[in-house]
Amino acid sequence: MASRICYHCKQQVDDGDPHDCWTTTEAALTQDLSEDLQEAWQRLREEAVALGEQRVYASHNSIMFSRTACYCFVRPKKQFLEVCLFLGRTVAGPAVRRSTPSSRTKIAHILHIRHRDEVEAPVTGWLREAYEWSERARSKRPGAKPAGAAKPGAVATTAKKAGAAKPGGRRAAASTGARSKGRRAVKP
């Protein structure tokens, strides 16, 4: 029977056999970890699951923890667990490798965990903060206006609604034919 080598996982797959190398599990991602990293992973998972209702799932190379949105994920590596926490503020500590803004409100903090003993305060506190913050950030603030709402006292002008242009602006130039294919009209 003919076979092929999968481009992604480099395994030999017989033609006609189902093959889904993108679907993975926590067990598959953590099976090759050392004993210390296995224990650290178990401790980290226990701490996260104890926080409350959430979804824990494997996605490609990461294990995701989410409520309505992902608040933490773990990438198992050979020498360490790369943990990414999403917080609303920047934190500093020996465990934090780097912090980068991931959106207007979220800051991604990358941590490297090498042993079970490292999954203690302040890491567990940051994990709890990320869990709680993920829900707070998604809830609506009191007094927040829906997108596109007008400011109080603002009056919409008919000129803007009708598409009228400011004198000398691009729309004015286009409506008078002053610009043609990016060229300016020559004044006599």
**pLDDT confidence of residue 120:** 95
Chain mean pLDDT for the chain:
80
Sequence letter at residue 64? M
- Percent pLDDT > 70 in the chain is 70
Query: Mapping DSSP to helix (H, G, I), strand (E, B) and coil, where does residue 61 land?
Result: coil
Q: Is residue 119 within 8 Å of residue 85, measured between CB atoms?
A: no
For residue 85, is pLDDT > 70? yes
pLDDT tens-digit profile of 25-39? 899 899 999 999 999
How far, in Å, CA of 89 to CA of 96, rounded? 13
**pLDDT confidence of residue 187:** 61
pTM, full prediction: 0.64
Residue 161 banded pLDDT, cuts 50, 70, 90: very low
